[in-house]
Amino acid sequence: QRPKLKVRLAEPLHKRPDYEFYFRLILDRKEEGYEAIPLGWGRNLPDSLLQMDALLIAPFGISEYQVGEEVEVELICGPEHL
């Protein structure tokens, strides 16, 4: 099981509510905690997989997340590597 961390979103996130979605995120350490910045879909997939720090697994029924909203993400590496 991946380590988890609570972070705040730097940008709004949107998806259709009728499926699960995996948002790829880069984490940026701030004084008040970590901020999550989504990786855009225009990026090369292998490159974005190497750059991402975390995944936000958005479940069925959720269609959006707001800027500043606190969410729990799954870390791709241990917290000591952030």
Give the pLDDT confidence of 12-54 residue by residue, as tens digits: 999 999 999 999 999 999 999 999 999 976 666 666 666 799 9
pLDDT digits (tens, 9 = 90+) for 47-68: 666 679 999 999 999 999 999 9
Quote the tokens at residue 24: 């790829």
> For residue 40, what are its two tokens?
């855009």
Extract the tokens encoding 76.
Answer: 């791709």
Question: Which domains does the chain possess?
Answer: 4-81 (2.40.340.10)
Contact 27, 34 (CB under 8 A): yes
**What is the reported pTM?**
0.85
